[in-house]
Amino acid sequence: MSSREAVTVIGLGAMGSTMAATFAAAGHPTTVWNRTPGKAAGLDAREAATAAEAVAASDLVVISQVDYPAMFDSLADADLGGRVLVNLSSDSPERLREASAWVAERGGTLVTGGIMVPPPGIGKPGAYTFYAGPEEAVAAHRSTLEVLGRVDHVGTDPGLAMLYYQAMLNIFWTTLISYFYSASLIGNAEALRPYVATLLTDLAADGPMGFLRIVTAEIDAGEYPGAQNNLHMQAVGAEHVVQAFSEAGLDVTVPGAMSELFARADQAGYGADGLTALVEMIRKSS
């Protein structure tokens, strides 16, 4: 009999099935359940007939479903008393807070999470997950959760895990979409790639000239120096970017939105400030 903690995985899509396989490979007795039966084939895990049976098999229940209402539906009849539910599904931060209360009303504890790798990266070097909720619940199951990747507990507010997760997704998506646009403008992605790679490396550099470090300090201080490169000039440059895409017969949705944000900031009186003054526009509701 294994001395490792038993774990239940609810949801056997690409993410859930990989998590179940990873737990089982690490020696954790693993029980699984999926709304559509038969998806446990090939997994070294016991497939429960019902979600309630799956929850009863383990003190730790890891959930990977399309959203949080799926958990409400799947576990409506399950006894959650004394169970720690770690939900790695995507949803809004407020929905996660509602879910925490829903689980608590049924005697359980909810830990929310946002896993920051695609299925092939689960359990591999560099994998990590944002967790939020009771610190003691995360600590009690840390060694098991570390099988999936590094455990980053970001706070007790259940919504924080999704805030961090969605913040990182926003950066990931917009960075790659910007690359897609620029590669289309050049017409040769491979020719552009080394320049983009250098730019991203320089942005993230830890030294005194690392741009990400510089703008982070400006944002947190609320100071946006623009003497050397003011926002007005960058707003003009953003218009030229849109013109370049338009002349090339390409879509201008993303560069157009960026130019519009620059223009609004300029018109609002931030033209003499630096690029980081854009955060003042972002923080204002439209």
CATH code at position 137: 3.40.50.720
**pLDDT at 82 exceeding the cut of 70:** yes
Q: Do 48 and 138 sit in the same domain of this protein?
A: yes
Lowest average pLDDT, out of 86-95, 117-126, 146-155, 206-215, goes to 206-215
Mean pLDDT of all residues belonging to the chain: 96
Q: Which of 112, 136, 157 is the last residue of a domain?
A: 157
* % of residues, the chain, pLDDT over 90: 94
Establish if 1 belongs to a structural domain: no
Tokens of 57: 């098999």
Q: Do 147 and 21 sit in the same domain of this protein?
A: yes
Mean pLDDT of 97-121: 98
Confidence of residue 206 (pLDDT cuts 50, 70, 90): confident
Q: Do 269 and 180 sit in the same domain of this protein?
A: yes
Q: Do 88 and 53 sit in the same domain of this protein?
A: yes
Q: Do 126 and 20 sit in the same domain of this protein?
A: yes
Contact 121, 128 (CB under 8 A): no
Q: Which of 157, 192, 224 is the last residue of a domain?
A: 157
State residue 1's pLDDT score. Answer: 61
Confidence of residue 221 (pLDDT cuts 50, 70, 90): very high
Establish if 224 belongs to a structural domain: yes
**pLDDT at 183 exceeding the cut of 90:** yes
User: Which of 110, 129, 104 has its CA nearest to residue 118?
Assistant: 129
Establish if 86 belongs to a structural domain: yes
User: Which of 195, 188, 175, 189 has its CA nearest to residue 258?
Assistant: 175
Q: Do 151 and 199 sit in the same domain of this protein?
A: no
Residue 42: left (phi > 0), alpha (psi -120 to 50), or beta? left
Establish if 256 belongs to a structural domain: yes
Residue 32: left (phi > 0), alpha (psi -120 to 50), or beta? beta
Q: Can you give the CATH number for the domain in which 225 is found?
A: 1.10.1040.10
Tokens of 279: 């955060």
Confidence of residue 286 (pLDDT cuts 50, 70, 90): low
Establish if 146 belongs to a structural domain: yes
Q: Do 131 and 244 sit in the same domain of this protein?
A: no
Q: How far apart are the first and last CA of the chain?
A: 59
Q: Do 182 and 136 sit in the same domain of this protein?
A: no
Mean pLDDT of 267-282: 96
Confidence of residue 212 (pLDDT cuts 50, 70, 90): very high
Mean pLDDT of 186-207: 95
**pLDDT at 285 exceeding the cut of 70:** no
Contact 231, 277 (CB under 8 A): yes
Which residue segment(s) compose the domain that 136 sits in? 7-157
Q: Do 22 and 111 sit in the same domain of this protein?
A: yes
State residue 93's pLDDT score. Answer: 97
Q: Do 92 and 147 sit in the same domain of this protein?
A: yes
Distance CA(271)–CA(231), nearest Å, equals: 5
Q: Do 205 and 139 sit in the same domain of this protein?
A: no
Q: Which of 131, 157, 183 is the last residue of a domain?
A: 157
How many domains does the chain contain in total?
2
Mean pLDDT of 225-240: 95
Establish if 2 belongs to a structural domain: no
Q: Do 223 and 270 sit in the same domain of this protein?
A: yes
**pLDDT at 207 exceeding the cut of 90:** no
CA dihedral 185, 189, 194, 198 (to 10 degrees): 50
